[in-house]
Amino acid sequence: MSKSKCSAIQIKICQKSSCRKRGSKAVCKALTTSLKQAGLKKKVTLQETGCMGKCKSGPHLAVLPDKTRYTQVHPKQVADIIQKHIG
């Protein structure tokens, strides 16, 4: 993926109570750590959001501009998600 495409990548993660109870804070921390370790922290925007409408299957995150959504995300999945979209 070209650098111009990387700079437009956003990862949005729900931080409403239902997703937080299911571990979205830990997922957010894992995303921050993984992006930093990969040298991508300045190329990818990580945004905590309100409800994304998938409360029963949280934590929920979305990767843009791909418009790919993930449900029931676990911190151990974060590296694979980053690799898949940013590589």
Q: What is the CATH number of the domain that holds 7?
A: 3.40.30.10
Amino acid at residue number 22: R
Using CA atoms, how far apart are residues 44 and 86, in angstroms rounded to an integer? Answer: 9
User: Does residue 4 surpass a pLDDT of 90?
Assistant: no
pLDDT (tens digit, 9 = 90+) per residue, 59-71? 999 999 999 999 9
Residue where the block lists tokens 């949280």: 58
Question: What are the start-end ranges of the H helices in 1-87?
Answer: 3-6, 17-21, 24-37, 78-85
User: Does residue 5 surpass a pLDDT of 50?
Assistant: no
The encoded tokens of residue 47 equal 């945004």
The encoded tokens of residue 68 equal 């790919």
| Total count of domains within the chain | 1
Using CA atoms, how far apart are residues 62 and 12, in angstroms rounded to an integer? Answer: 5
pLDDT (tens digit, 9 = 90+) per residue, 12-27? 999 999 999 999 999 9
Residue 7's pLDDT is 53
